[in-house]
Amino acid sequence: MFEVLAENLLGRIGRLKTRSGRVAETPLFLPVINPVTQDVPASWMKKELGAEAVITNAYIISRRLREEALRTGVHALLDFDGMVMTDSGGYQILEYGEVEASPEEIAELQEEIGSDIAVPLDVPTGLSGREKAEETVEKTLRNLQATLSFLEKRGERRCLWAAPIQGGIHLDLLQSCARKEKEMSFDLFALGSPTPLMEGYRFDKLFKMIYAARSAIGFGKPLHLFGAGHPMIFPFIVALGADMFDSASYYLYAKDDRYMTEYGTIRVDKLDYLPCYCPICSRIDAGELRKLERGERVKLLAMHNLYVCFEEIRRIKQAIRDGRLMELLELRARCHPSLYQGFVEIMRDGDLLRAMEEHTPISSRRGINIYDGLSLRRPEIALGRRRLLQNCFTGRRHEGKALLLPETLRVSFEKASRIPEDLDMLFYGSPYGLIPLGLRYSYPFSQTNYPKTLLDECLDDLIEEAVKQLKAAGYSKVLIVAARSKALERFGRELARRLRELEIEVEEVEDIRELMKGRK
Ligand SMILES: [Zn+2]
C-alpha cells in the first residue's frame, strides 16, 4: 500500500496505493474541498495543477448531501476522479461542539460513498489544557475501537483507514495515543494539528508534535497532517516526517485578500507587482487584480495560491531526490523569525538529528552547502564525521606521526611519494575534521561547499573534532604545516595550542618541502 522510493532527513518520496487502486506520490498535498460551495472546482485542480488527491468533510456530506453522495459516490459528487480523503467531522466538534452522528454512522457513510482514505470520528484536542486533552484522547480511542468493531462486522473494507492522533501540544499524551493506535489495525495515521498554533506562528510547537507522532508510530506507514497552513512550512513538516497534509489556506487567505508566495504572504492592497508567473498572474497585473469584483478576485487569488502550494511540493520532491531538503529548510527558515526559531530548535534536538541521520543516504548526486554553525549540525556532517572517526581513526593504533596539511594545499602524487612513510597525511580546515589523503576527493568531503568564515565562526567546534580524531588514532606526534590563508593559519595555530594543552607532541612546519625525502 505504501512504498518509500527516496529519503532525505525524515522526508520521503513514496507511492501510496489505495484499496480502490488509485495511486499518488507523496509528499502529497490535499486541497480542502467544501462539498457544498466550492469556488475553485476540484476538477480544475486535477486538470491544471495535476492534483492527485483532495480532502473533504464526511460530516458535512452526511448533513447536507447524504442522498446524492450515496447515489453517485464521493468522486462524482466532487467531480474529481483522483484520490479522495474524507475527514470525519471531528473538526466540527472543535468549532461547534458536539456533532450529531455516531462513529459507526460516520464510518458507514465513508465506506458507502467510496472514500479512498477515511478517518474515524475523533475528538480534536485543539489547544486544550491537560485535563481536557486527556479526555479528548480517551474519547478518540474509544471511537476508534467502535469504528474498528463496526468495520470488522461489516466485512471487507473499501477505504484505507487513518487513525487520528490527538493529544495536541501535550507530547507525552500525543505519543501514548499514537502508540496505542499503532497496535490497532489502521492503514495510516493522521495528526490533528491545532489551528491556533499555526495562526499564532507557534511553528516550534507544531514541529515538535510532528516528530513526536512520527517517532511513536515508526517509519512504516504514512503520516498525514491535518491543516498544514502556509506553503512556507511545507518543507519543514515533510522533513519532520509528514507524508501528506491538507490545507484550506489557499482559500482562507484568498477570502482575506492575501496573496501567497513561497516565502510569505502579501496583502493585495500592498501589491505593486505580482511576483509570480502562474497562468493567473501572467495574464493580469496587481492593479487589475485589486479592481476586480470581490468574488472574481477571491477565486483568482485562491487559484494563484494553489499554484504556489503545488510548486512548493515539486520543489520539496526535487530537494529530497537531490539530498538537499536541509538547504530548503535553511532558506525557508528566513521567511519569518518564528520559522527560524522552529528551525533552530530542530537543529538543537540531538534525538531528532540522529533520527534524520539514520534516514539520510550516505551518498547523493549533489553536493552539500554549509553556511554557519547551524548548518554544521546537519545530519550529513554528523554522518560524515562519525564514519571518518570509526573507519579512519578509531581502533587502529597509528604507530607513526600525523602530518597535518592545510586543506587548500595541492599535493601532487610525486610530492606525496616523497613524504616519509611514517607520516600519515591529513588535511585540516574541513567541516568534517581531518581528511585523510585517500579520501580527499571522495563524497562528501570534496563535494561540501562552505565559506571561509566558517573557520572563524566555528573554530572551537572544528578544532575539537580534529582533536577527537587525533586522540582516537593515538599518534605519537603531530606535525602541522602552516597555511598561507589567514583563517587556516589561525586554525593551525589554535590546533597546535590545543594539542600541546593535551600534552601531545606538536611540531609546526613552515613548508612541506622541509619534510621531503631527497630534497636538494
Ligand atoms: Zn501566481
| Contacts of 189 by beta carbon, 8 Å cutoff, 6+ apart | 162, 163, 164, 165, 178, 181, 213, 217, 221, 222, 223, 224
d(CA 475, CA 358): 31
Ligand 1 centroid, distance to 280 Cα (angstroms): 5
Residue-level pLDDT at 195: 83
Locate 413 and state its grid cell: 602524487
Q: How many other CB atoms are there within 10 angstroms of residue 52's CB atom?
A: 18
Q: DSSP letter string over 294-352?
A: HHHHHHHHHHHHHHHHHHHHHHHHHHHHHT-HHHHHHHHHTT-HHHHHHHHHHHT-HHH
Residue-level pLDDT at 474: 87
| Mean pLDDT computed over 404-417 | 88
Please state, for a pLDDT cut of 90, what percent of the chain lies above it: 84
Catalytic residue among 39, 79, 81, 87: 87
In tens, the pLDDT along 124-180 reads 998 899 999 999 999 999 999 999 999 999 999 999 999 999 999 999 999 999 999
Residue-level pLDDT at 220: 96
Ligand 1 centroid, distance to 54 Cα (angstroms): 21
Q: How far apart are the first and last CA of the chain?
A: 71
Query: Within 13 A of 80's CA, how many CA atoms are on the CB side?
Result: 33
d(CA 250, CA 100): 29
For the cut 90, the answer to whether the pLDDT of residue 198 exceeds it is: no
Task: Using alpha carbons, select from 376, 399, 363 the residue that is nearest to residue 474.
Answer: 399
| Contacts of 169 by beta carbon, 8 Å cutoff, 6+ apart | 127, 194, 197, 205, 208, 209
pLDDT band at 26 (very low <50, low <70, confident <90, very high): very high
**What backbone phi and psi angles, to 5 degrees, belong to 369?**
-105, 125
d(CA 227, CA 514): 66
Asked which of 43-52, 126-135, 263-272, 407-416 is least confident by mean pLDDT, the reply is 407-416
Ligand 1 centroid, distance to 268 Cα (angstroms): 12
For the cut 60, the answer to whether the pLDDT of residue 494 exceeds it is: yes
| Mean pLDDT computed over 461-466 | 96
In tens, the pLDDT along 325-364 reads 999 999 999 999 999 999 999 999 999 999 999 998 888 8
Ligand 1 centroid, distance to 278 Cα (angstroms): 4
Task: Name the packing angle between helices 459-473 and 486-501 (round to 10°).
Answer: 50
Residue 115 DSSP code: -
d(CA 486, CA 491): 9
d(CA 35, CA 374): 45
Residue 375 DSSP code: G
Compute the mean pLDDT over every residue in the chain, rounded to the nearest whole number: 93
For the cut 70, the answer to whether the pLDDT of residue 307 exceeds it is: yes
d(CA 470, CA 292): 69
User: Helix (H, G, I), strand (E, B), or coil: what is residue 3?
Assistant: strand
In tens, the pLDDT along 60-105 reads 999 899 999 999 999 999 999 999 999 997 767 666 666 678 999 9
Ligand 1 centroid, distance to 279 Cα (angstroms): 7
- Tell me whether the omega of the peptide bond preceding residue 27 falls within 30 degrees of 0, making it cis: yes
Ligand 1 centroid, distance to 312 Cα (angstroms): 13
pLDDT band at 413 (very low <50, low <70, confident <90, very high): confident
| Mean pLDDT computed over 10-27 | 97
Ligand 1 centroid, distance to 135 Cα (angstroms): 44
Q: Does 39 participate in catalysis according to the annotation?
A: no
In tens, the pLDDT along 235-270 reads 999 999 999 999 999 999 999 999 999 999 999 999
Beta bridge partners of 245: 29, 225
| Mean pLDDT computed over 424-445 | 94
Residue-level pLDDT at 520: 42
Ligand 1 centroid, distance to 426 Cα (angstroms): 52
Residue-level pLDDT at 349: 97
Residue-level pLDDT at 94: 64
